[in-house]
Amino acid sequence: TCTTSQKGCFVFKSASKKRKRQLGVGGYLVDDSDDNGSDRFRIGQKLWETVQMNTEVIQDQLNKKVLDSLAEFIKKHGLGCSSDVWRQRASEIPTAALMLGVNVPDHAMTFRSLCNLLQDSVTPFVVSVHAKECAGLLIQKVLEQLMGSGVSVDEEKEDDTALLQRTPCTISALCQWYKTVTKKCIQVSPERKENLTNNDLPQSLPVVVIFKDFEAFNSQVLQDFILICSRYTQELPFVFIFGIATSPSAIQHRLPHSVSSLLCIEVFHSLSCTQHLASVFDKLILNAQFPFKLSSRVIQVLVGVFLYHDFNVQNFVKGLQFSMLEHFNSQPLSLLCCQKQEALLSAKTLSKQNVEQIRHLPSFMRYVETQEPQEQVRLLTNDEHVKEVCQTLLKNLHKYHKNYYPILQCLHSLTSSLPKFPLGKHIRELHVSCIEKNLWETEEYDSALQLLRILAKDELVAALRKCAETLKSANTKRMQNALQQLEDFIGRLETLEDSSGNGVISAKMEYQKTDLFQLQKTLLEKESRRTKRMNSFEVLRSQVMDFIDSLVREYLTPAEFQPLNEVCYYSSSGVLRHHPFYYLKVTDHSFRLTRAQLEKQERLTVFQLAKNAFVDAGY
């Protein structure tokens, strides 16, 4: 099986490529029978850029903490080195073990921002090495990057590179270079030094070496490098950063004690990839502001690939972007998949073809069936009327989304603390089951509600407060109403005083001397009394649950039942699943190739490049 997939994965560029490229920017989405291709392209491109921007922002936010603490660590060692006399004697090299998780492709971005951060705020001497680049030539690579970059003294650049060719490839050469450069640094730009290290000695500018993929390094090469560097710690303040994908014990497995005793290791944890995915999910999928939506099947495919195969957030985002491309390419009505005002505007100016396409939408057909016969006729014959109805339907769809997400979050915050997670541990699972079918008809929902009905008072109040918190950020009228009711419930729950009937009984029982039979009787009595008569808290609790249930039934209806949902929802999971994007990595490779070729010719947007790659691959 392996061999066949390997043999079958060569991608040949189609002969008609040249012709296609002449179509121009928006041309790829233009169909012969359709005239709004360029509009769809524009909308799609905008969304694409939003996705790109948002993922970068999320990544930055998530990494900020760990990157800051790393920079702090390096600063601390850069400054405080001289005071720790004994550590120098033992020639320990400060080392940060950065735990990144096994989703290796996501690391590139982290390292890029780490490099930038360090170069901006700590030291210009940052080298990052990749195992593949330096099988046996680690030192050479480090030297090249450090000395070749002509660090801060720009006018000396040519001399430096010439020097490198003549100087032998040793750390002692690096020492010489480091001395001259730091000296120059002071002479050339004293003010720059001030903001770098707060008037400290020039020697305290550490040389940071980042090993991007620690596991992949040849351990012998690594050992030698560490041994050599430890000889020069007095002259060259090295700091290492190991990017570790598995676990910190990998260090001990790769390095013998004689070498690892030269390191002073501190462990830093970056956020786990599942948390990363959750925040991407929150931002891009569980967001009413983002008009493009995925159907439950598509989400399941994407999340499945993430959880079962690669733990790779970038791949997930790529999948999202790909389904966006498919959506805007295959669905002419995706013209309406944009912000509310814009969508209403374009709904007014729908072409005849588009109106016809709307009439053929399954959800619209269902809608027509529910109308009066007279209205039905009008909807099927009068184009203008369809456009008007379409506008109201679009408004409704947007309203639906605005109400859907807050309620979803409420329900999640209520059920996520229940034992065994009947409705799923993550909000994405809840979301999938909500848009798939009527949630309230499932067994899981019933069991969740049953569990909720036996919550203790303080737990219930805490959960409701969380709900109120999420509802506060929603700004529709209905949500405000719901919020008011909820707060009312919370108030009533809090003012409720404890019923102390039970306590009295148990106190009485202690005094009586009873035999077994009598005890059984009293217990049974007590039990029956309880079932008969609910105390006021229990009454209130069931009221709250009924309220929650009504909210769920009203707002968490499956998206399929919304008329015109096809405009926003991309649902062909089969296309996604059988697309080589997920099947063969080679497609990814060809994508990169095309990209490189194209960038030479003209500067194109990423959106277009991706499109080209898919077209070239023959899809």
Partner 1 sequence: MTVIQVFHYEQRMSVTLQCPGYPEDTLRSLADRLPCRETQLKSLLSLMGQPDQYSYPSFFIYGHRATGKSHVVLSVMKDLELPHASVDCVECVSSGLLFHQVLSAFFGPDAAALLPRCPSLSDFVRLYKQMSSNSPATQTRYIILDRAERMRDMDFSLLPALLRLQELVNDNVTVILLSEIVWEKFRPNTGCFEPLLFHFPDYSKVELVQILSWDHHPSYTPELYASYINILLGVFFSVCRDLRELRHLAALNFSKFCEPLEKGEAKESDIHKLWKNIEPHLQRAMQTVYLREVSSVQWEQQQMDEKEATTLRVLSAHAHIELPYYSKFLLIAAYLASFNPARTDRRFFLKSHGKIRKTNFLKKHEKTSNHLLGPKPFPLDRLMAIFYSVVDSRVAPTASIFSQISSLVTLQLLSQVGHDDQLDSPKYKCSVSLDFILAISRTVGFDVVKYLYDFL
Q: Rule CB under 8 A: is residue 260 a binding residue for partner 1? A: yes
Would you call 47 helix, strand, or coil by DSSP?
helix
By the rule CB under 8 A, 261 interacts with partner 1: yes
Verify binding: residue 3, partner 1, rule CB under 8 A.
Answer: yes
Nearer to partner 1, 153 or 265 (CB): 265
Regarding 104 and contact with partner 1 (CB under 8 A), the answer is yes
Considering only the stretches 349-357, 371-379, 556-564, 584-592, report the one whose residues sit in contact with partner 1 under the rule CB under 8 A.
584-592
Region of 225-233, 446-454, 479-487, 603-611 interacting with partner 1 (CB under 8 A)? 225-233
- Mapping DSSP onto H, E and C, the string for 18-38 reads HHHHCCCCHHHHCCCCCCCHH
Window 563-582: residues binding partner 1 (CB under 8 A): 582
User: Residues 320, 293: contact at Cβ < 8 Å?
Assistant: no
Whichever of 224 and 549 has its CB closer to partner 1, that residue is 224
Residue 30 or 265 with smaller CB distance to partner 1:
265
Out of 23, 53, 57, 90, the residue judged to bind partner 1 by CB under 8 A: 90
Q: Is 583 in the site for partner 1 (CB under 8 A)?
A: yes
Spatial distance between the Cα atoms of 25 and 611, rounded to a whole number of angstroms = 10
Pair of tokens at residue 182? 């730091």
Q: Determine, following the binding rule CB under 8 A, whether residue 592 of this chain makes contact with partner 1.
A: no
The residues in 311-330 that bind partner 1, with binding defined as CB under 8 A, are 311
Binds partner 1 by CB under 8 A, chosen from 134, 174, 251, 467: 251
Total of residues contacting partner 1 (CB under 8 A)? 66
Distance CA 28, CA 321 (A): 16
Q: What is the CA radius of gyration of the chain?
A: 32
Spell out the residues 6+ positions from residue 41 whose beta carbon is closer than 8 angstroms to its own: 25, 26, 28, 29, 328
Cβ neighbour number for residue 55 with a 10 Å cutoff: 23
Determine, following the binding rule CB under 8 A, whether residue 373 of this chain makes contact with partner 1: no
Contact 331, 566 (CB under 8 A): yes
Q: Is there binding between residue 213 and partner 1 (CB under 8 A)?
A: yes
> How many H-runs (helices) and E-runs (strands) does the chain carry?
31, 7
From CA 162, how far away is CA 573, in angstroms rounded? 57
Closer CB to partner 1, residue 582 or residue 614?
582
Among 17, 112, 231, 348, binds partner 1 (CB under 8 A): 231
Instruction: Evaluate whether 463 touches 455 at the Cβ level (below 8 Å).
Output: yes
Of 400, 421, 425, 451, the C-alpha closest to 565 is: 400
Residue 144 in contact with partner 1, rule: CB under 8 A: no
- At its nearest, how many Å lie between partner 1 and the CB of residue 174? 11
CA distance 579 to 274: 24
Kindly tell me which of 227 and 523 has the beta carbon lying closer to partner 1: 227
Which of 25, 109, 164, 264 binds partner 1 (CB under 8 A)? It is: 264
Cα–Cα distance, 298 to 311 (Å, whole number): 17
Among 258-266, 426-434, 468-476, 557-565, the segment contacting partner 1 (CB under 8 A): 258-266
Q: Which two tokens stand for residue 317?
A: 């985002």
- Is residue 287 a contact partner of residue 474, using CB atoms and an 8 Å limit? no
Which among 170-178, 321-329, 475-483, 548-556 is the span making contact with partner 1, rule CB under 8 A?
170-178
Among 86, 372, 443, 532, binds partner 1 (CB under 8 A): 86
Which residue in 121, 145, 203, 272 binds partner 1 (CB under 8 A)?
A: 272
The residue from 34, 92, 200, 444 that contacts partner 1 (CB under 8 A) is: 92
Helix (H) or strand (E) holding 126: strand 126-129
| Residue (of 27, 38, 28) closest to 335 by Cα position | 38
Interface with partner 1 (CB under 8 A):
1-3, 5-6, 9, 86-87, 89-90, 92, 94-95, 97, 99, 101-102, 104, 136, 139, 168-172, 213, 215-216, 224, 227-228, 231, 245-254, 257-258, 260-261, 263-267, 272-274, 305-311, 582-586
